Amino acid sequence: MRAAPASFAQTGLAIEIGPAVFNPGLPVLGGCAVENLFGAVHEIEAHGSIRLFRGDDWLLGAAAVEVTPTTLEASAHSLYAQLCAVTSGRHLARIWNYVPDINGTGVGGLENYRAFCRGRSLAFERAHGAGFSQLLPSASAVGCQDGRLTIAFAASAVPPQHYENPLQVPAYHYPEQYGPRPPSFARATGVPRAGREPAVFISGTAAIRGHATMAPESTADQLACTLENLRAISRVCGLGENLAAGVRTRHFKVYLRHAEDYAAMAAALAEELFTAHDHVSYVRAEICRASLKVEIEATLL
- Does some domain include residue 284? yes
Q: How sure is the predictor about 39, in pLDDT bands with cuts at 50, 70 and 90? A: very high
pLDDT at 8: 37
SS in 3 state form for 107-147? HHHCEHHHHHHHHHHHHHHHHHCCCHHHHCCEEEEEEECCC
CA distances from 159 to 137, 198, 213, 269, 271 (A): 11, 12, 32, 33, 35
CA distances from 166 to 10, 169, 229 (A): 39, 8, 9
Considering only CA atoms, which of 225, 223, 228 is closest in space to residue 241?
228
Alpha-helix residue ranges (DSSP H) falling in 129-257 = 219-236
Query: Average pLDDT in the 169-173 region?
Result: 98
Structure letter (DSSP) for residue 67: -
Comparing 8-12, 20-24, 196-200, the range with the smallest average pLDDT is: 8-12
pLDDT at 1: 44
The CATH number of residue 183's host domain is: 3.30.1330.40
Residues of the domain holding 122? 6-300
Report the 10 Å Cβ neighbour count for 271: 8
295 is catalytic: yes
Q: How sure is the predictor about 4, in pLDDT bands with cuts at 50, 70 and 90? A: very low
- The model's pTM: 0.95
Q: How sure is the predictor about 9, in pLDDT bands with cuts at 50, 70 and 90? A: very low
Alpha-carbon distance 114 to 126, whole Å?
Answer: 18
Question: Tens digit of pLDDT for each residue in 60-78?
Answer: 999 999 999 999 999 999 9
Alpha-carbon distance 21 to 31, whole Å?
Answer: 18
pLDDT at 272: 96
Q: How sure is the predictor about 195, in pLDDT bands with cuts at 50, 70 and 90? A: confident
- Does some domain include residue 199? yes
Residues 6 or more apart in contact with residue 232 via CB below 8 angstroms: 165, 166, 167
Residues 6 or more apart in contact with residue 172 via CB below 8 angstroms: 133, 136, 182, 183, 184, 185
pLDDT at 24: 94
Query: How much is the mean pLDDT over the chain?
Result: 95
Q: How sure is the predictor about 56, in pLDDT bands with cuts at 50, 70 and 90? A: confident
With H, G, I as helix, E, B as strand and everything else as coil, classify residue 158.
Answer: coil
pLDDT at 141: 98
Structure letter (DSSP) for residue 186: B
What are the backbone angles phi and psi of residue 139, rounded to the nearest 5°? Answer: -165, 170
Q: How sure is the predictor about 11, in pLDDT bands with cuts at 50, 70 and 90? A: low
- Does some domain include residue 1? no
Q: Which amino acid is at 191?
A: V
Q: How sure is the predictor about 194, in pLDDT bands with cuts at 50, 70 and 90? A: confident
User: Distance from CA of residue 61 to its chain's centroid?
Assistant: 14
Structure letter (DSSP) for residue 63: E
pLDDT at 6: 39
Crossing angle (nearest 10°) for helices 262-272 and 219-236:
30
CA distances from 6 to 12, 28, 254 (A): 10, 9, 18
Query: Average pLDDT in the 111-132 region?
Result: 98
Residues 6 or more apart in contact with residue 48 via CB below 8 angstroms: 63, 82, 86
With H, G, I as helix, E, B as strand and everything else as coil, classify residue 175.
Answer: coil
Crossing angle (nearest 10°) for helices 72-86 and 112-128:
30
Q: How sure is the predictor about 232, in pLDDT bands with cuts at 50, 70 and 90? A: very high
Which position among 73, 111, 286, 295 bears the catalytic label?
295
Q: What is the number of domains present in the chain?
A: 1
pLDDT at 15: 96
Question: For residues 71 and 106, is the Cβ–Cβ distance under 8 A?
Answer: no
